[in-house]
Chain A
Amino acid sequence: AQSVAQPEDQVNVAEGNPLTVKCTYSVSGNPYLFWYVQYPNRGLQFLLKYITGDNLVKGSYGFEAEFNKSQTSFHLKKPSALVSDSALYFCAVRAHSYDKVIFGPGTSLSVIP
């Protein structure tokens, strides 16, 4: 069965500091991995995805994520956080052979000025 864990409900970081939002997954076979962001009163927006190839994936708004197969992780990172990055972040996984995407519980990121 597929599953996604985001071990931190809340991440606080000072503006200008690097940020990391953690994600681990479980899936049979090779995964498709995604990060989405949700701003207040909005739908989820796609940030980036890993399909195959380079383990470091770059996405929107300066975010990047690193696929680590041995640790089954796909942590989201940004070198310098902005106050406007404050939002709810969801990691998601899909097996190559299956249509259904499983979303994690979400991590609330607060960037403190």
Chain B
Amino acid sequence: DAGVIQSPRHEVTEMGQEVTLRCKPISGHNSLFWYRQTMMRGLELLIYFNNNVPIDDSGMPEDRFSAKMPNASFSTLKIQPSEPRDSAVYFCASSLVGSLSNEQFFGPGTRLTVL
């Protein structure tokens, strides 16, 4: 298995631009998580999906952030418009909830820089 795949790995954009981050979870996993990691705030859960349905989006910082999961093999996190304070590493993770083997598997992350 290729593991969790994220694209792009690096993104540099200018303030005000739209940014879309992509994630392909591990095949067969039924939960998907988006995290943001910064030096100041550590690892923050933004939103998670179970069976493609958003369950908890309380960590989404504001309306500029949105996430979708149109099917079991794909999810996007969109920031529109982007701001310099959105600069961070964004991780996607997936897991098989409902079984004892429910550890999360993380992708390599997308390093976002907003100028």
For the complex, give the distance between the alpha carbons of A32 and B97 in Å.
12
Partner of B103, one of A42, A46, A99, A103: A46
| Smallest beta-carbon distance A72→chain B, Å | 20
Interface size bucket, A side?
Answer: 10 to 19
Main secondary structure of the interface of B (DSSP, over half): strand
For the complex, give the distance between the alpha carbons of A42 and B107 in Å.
8
Contacts of A46 in B (CB 8 A): 103-105
Cβ–Cβ contact B42 & A43, under 8 A: no
For the complex, give the distance between the alpha carbons of A51 and B102 in Å.
10
Cβ–Cβ contact B56 & A45, under 8 A: no
Contacts of A103 in B (CB 8 A): 42-43, 45
Contacts of A44 in B (CB 8 A): 43, 91, 93, 104, 106
* From B43, B45, B93, residue with most partner A Cβ within 10 Å: B43
Cβ–Cβ contact B108 & A43, under 8 A: yes
**1/0 contact string of B47-90 vs chain A (CB within 8 Å):** 01010000110000000000000000000000000000000000
| Smallest beta-carbon distance B80→chain A, Å | 25
Cβ–Cβ contact B45 & A100, under 8 A: yes
Partner of B106, one of A45, A51, A102, A106: A45
